[in-house]
Amino acid sequence: MVADRGIADEQSPRRLLHTETVYSGRIWDVVQDRFQLSDGEDPLVRDYITHPGAVAILAMDDDGRVLLINQYRRPVRMKLWEIPAGLLDVDGEDFVAAAARELAEEADLQAASWHVLTDLFLSPGSSREELRIYLARGLTPVPEDERHVREHEEAEIETAWVELDDAVQAVLDGRLHSPSAIAGVLAAHAARANDFADLRPGDAPWPEHHSRHGSWPVGPDL
């Protein structure tokens, strides 16, 4: 039995026999893999969504309040209270730089301090999407003449500064449904108990992001 503090997810490449893109979309594709769990076993076939990955930001002001943004999400036909977030869709862009860009674009804020709250896969049974959530502090507004012009759904964004404890209660009451907001709020609440001293720095390695290990080879060798 593994000790509690020894529990950790790990990379586990398996023998990939064939892979192909069965649908190509504007942002992500659907890939079909044929693979074996171990030698001698019958092949399995799984379809999943490829994804560039994403970053999200829990922005916290000097009073300990967190920023939530309200945005319409077409697949669920709802306006959700979320935290600023965006795709890692700029080739070679540093993860923290991407987070800073999204914070500026969606909230008109810049931050002096960056830490990692948590990393997660949003739906690992059907999607490759990796998400890193940052805690951003030391906030200042983006100058008016440098602000991003928001379009489409982002043009409707509304913002609210919420006490962290109130945000936690909204999660427990079932009033928040965004996975990035829920994970960020609960992680920040847990980290606050030790004054955020246990958080990783903003530039901490992210080995789970697919860009860090590439694609598994096709053929007899792993």
Active site residues: 154
| Alpha carbon distance 190, 3 (integer Å) | 21
Cβ neighbours of residue 57 under 8 Å, at least 6 residues apart?
83, 84, 85, 99, 102, 103, 107, 111, 133, 134, 135, 136
Q: What is the dihedral of CA 206, 211, 46, 22, to 10 degrees?
A: 150
SS (H, E, C) the chain: CCCHHHCCCCCCCCEEEEEEEEEECCCCEEEEEEEECCCCCCCEEEEEECCCCEEEEEEECCCCEEEEEEEEEHHHCEEEEECCEEECCCCCCCHHHHHHHHHHHHHCEEEEEEEEEEEEECCCCCECCEEEEEEEEEEEECCHHHCCCCCHHHHHCEEEEEEHHHHHHHHHCCCCCCHHHHHHHHHHHHHHCCCCCCCEECCCCCCCCHHHCCCCCECCCC
